[in-house]
Amino acid sequence: MRLQEKTIYFTETAKSPLVLGSITFNKVKDSADINIPGCFEVENKFATWSLCETEEGKGDEWVCKIKEALGMKCDLTEGVATVKKIKITQPVMIVPLPSPDCATDWNYDLHGTDWVCNCNEGLE
C-alpha cells in the first residue's frame, strides 16, 4: 500500500510501478473505533473499506499517516484497541440441526458425511 495525499494505492510489491487499485477517502476510523486490533477503516461518500495489517502496530501507523493527510492530529497513545486473550477451559460445541428445507434425513450415524444442503449461497 502507498499513501499519496487522500488516496491509498495498492501495488503488488513496495517497488512495483503497477497500481492494482486505489481508494480515495475523506474519513478514517482507528482500531479502537471499530474494535479490531491492527485494523482500520477508511471511507468516502460511496463506500467503507476495512484494512488490516499483519504486523503489530502498523495499522495504527497507517491511521496516523491518513489522519495527517486529512489535516487531523494524530496521537498513537489514543485510539488503539487492545487484544484481550481468554483461556477457554471448556470447548464450545456447535451442533447443526436439520431444517425443513435442509438435511431433513441427517443424523449422527455417518458422522455428518450425509449432510447435504443447498443454501442461498450455493452447496454447503
Q: Which pLDDT tens digit goes with each residue over 19-55?
A: 888 888 998 888 888 888 888 899 988 899 898 888 7
**How is domain 2-69 classified at the CATH fold level?**
PH-domain like (2.30.29)
Q: How far apart are CA 35 and CA 85, in angstroms?
A: 14
Boundaries of every domain in the chain: 2-69, 92-124
Please tell me which residue, 21 or 108, carries the higher pLDDT value: 21
pTM of the shown model? 0.56
Cα(32)–Cα(56) distance, integer angstroms: 14
112 pLDDT above the threshold of 60 = yes
Mean pLDDT of the chain: 76
Distance between CA atoms of 87 and 79, rounded to whole angstroms? 26
How distant, in Å, are the alpha carbons of 40, 41, 71, 122 from that of 62? 8, 10, 14, 37
The terminus-to-terminus CA distance of the chain in angstroms comes to: 35
